């Protein structure tokens, strides 16, 4: 399992990046500048880019695909799809990069580049498709139903006559500093006589970042409330009646698509409030939706939720 993850998440992606980088670096001096990067239906070159820009484009795109492949390895579900898509993109770009280098090799000007016809382009696609099929086939082995649901669910042993409330939060100081810096920049722009568009957008970004730098979570008999930002606004409320069970989990921001409010309960059925990496609380809702929020002391919160759900005849 571990070695499969390393192969699909590191070795293979590094290989497709390396192919492009090595092809460009090894042939650098033998390439024209600008070089041909686009060919017409007849197979003759008809589009160019500066040599360095073409290199940056091909290398950058393969790196992006490699990041996609790496991220795929950390997901619970959809590993095969994402890893396959990343492999298709990575291998296709790498193949096209190599074709571009070979076509331009030793040409004095870009017009002298060798022709690249439709069969060769299709060949690249075919190669990428084969790689994607192979990768997603192997990646499927990594997909198992998460074992968490089978474990004993946390409980705090709430008695029948007891009433309880749990409050906790999560903070990300780095995001706070970012918000502060952007706000200061906005004020500086305003003081410098900037128009309202850049000033307004900087202030808006500062507020948005500040709101997502801090979260407060409260669980009581009726609902779980997630309040954002230092002012506790906006708020998201999930009624206990809607919850099936809760559990503690470890949140990896990169695997959840980054920081902030990710996904949508209404549209996608999955949402995550990711303030920082680490401890988090996952709610399984009755309508098969999932809500994740990063919060300290999640085990206690999950325990209270489960006890409250049980009391409601969950």
Partner 1 sequence: MLIRIDAAANADLHEQIAAQVRRAISSGKVAPGDQLPPARELAASLAVNMHTVLRAYAALRDEGLVEMRRGRGVTIANVGTSRARVVELARELLAEARRHGMTLRELETLLEELS
Instruction: Give me the residues that bind partner 1 (CB under 8 A), please.
Output: 156, 158-159, 161-168, 218, 220-221, 297, 300, 304
Output the smallest distance, CB 61 to partner 1, in A: 46
Residue 2 or residue 163: which is nearer to partner 1 going by CB? 163
- Which helix (H) or strand (E) segment is 197 a member of? helix 196-211
Report whether 192 contacts 172 (CB < 8 A). Answer: no
DSSP string across 6-39: HIIIIIHHHHHHHHHHHHHHHHGGGS-SSEEEEE
Q: How far is the CB of 295 from partner 1 (least distance, A)?
A: 12
The residue (of 65 and 224) whose beta carbon lies closer to partner 1 is 224
Q: Residue 89 corresponds to which tokens in the numbers above?
A: 């993109």
Considering the complex, state which of residue 232 and residue 260 has its C-beta at the smaller distance from partner 1: 232
- Three-state secondary-structure class, residue 238: strand
HSE of 302, CA atoms in CB hemisphere, 13 A? 24
Which residue lies nearer to partner 1 by CB, 33 or 297?
Answer: 297
Instruction: Tell the smallest beta-carbon distance from residue 302 to partner 1 (Å).
Output: 12
- Shortest Å distance, C-beta 155 to partner 1: 12
For the bound state, the minimum distance from the C-beta of residue 28 to partner 1, rounded and expressed in Å, comes to 56
CA atoms within a 13 Å half-sphere pointing along the CA-CB vector of 215: 26
**Beta bridge pairs of residue 228:** 215
Which CB sits closer to partner 1, 189 or 300? 300
Of the candidates 267, 276, 270, the residue with the CA atom closest to the CA atom of residue 292: 270
């Amino acid at each position: 399992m571990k070695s499969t993850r390393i192969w699909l998440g590191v070795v293979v992606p590094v290989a497709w990046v390396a192919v492009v980088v090595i092809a460009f670096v090894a042939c650098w001096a033998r390439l024209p500048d600008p070089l041909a990067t686009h060919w017409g239906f007849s197979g003759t070159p008809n589009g160019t880019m500066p040599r360095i820009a073409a290199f940056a484009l091909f290398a950058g795109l393969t790196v992006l695909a490699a990041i996609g492949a790496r991220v795929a390895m950390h997901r619970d579900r959809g590993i095969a799809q994402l890893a396959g898509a990343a492999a298709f993109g990575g291998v296709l770009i790498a193949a096209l990069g190599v074709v571009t280098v070979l076509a331009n090799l030793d040409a004095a000007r870009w017009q002298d580049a060798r022709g690249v016809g439709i069969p060769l382009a299709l060949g690249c696609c075919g190669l990428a498709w084969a790689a994607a099929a192979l990768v997603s086939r192997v990646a499927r082995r990594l997909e198992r139903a998460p074992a968490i649901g089978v474990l004993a669910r946390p409980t705090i042993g709430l008695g029948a006559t007891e009433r309880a409330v749990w409050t906790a939060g999560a903070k990300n100081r780095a995001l706070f500093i970012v918000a502060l810096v952007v706000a200061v920049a906005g004020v500086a722009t305003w003081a410098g006589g900037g128009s309202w568009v850049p000033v307004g957008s900087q202030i808006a970004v500062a507020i948005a970042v500040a709101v997502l730098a801090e979260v407060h979570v409260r669980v009581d008999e009726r609902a779980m409330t997630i309040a954002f930002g230092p002012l506790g606004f906006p708020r998201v409320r999930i009624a206990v009646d809607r919850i099936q069970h809760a559990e503690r989990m470890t949140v990896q921001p990169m695997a959840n698509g980054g920081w902030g409010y990710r996904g949508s309960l209404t549209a996608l059925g999955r949402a995550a409030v990711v303030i920082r990496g680490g401890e988090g609380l996952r709610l399984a809702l009755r309508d098969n939706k999932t809500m994740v929020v990063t919060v300290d002391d999640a085990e206690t919160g999950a325990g209270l939720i489960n006890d409250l759900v049980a009391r409601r005849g969950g």
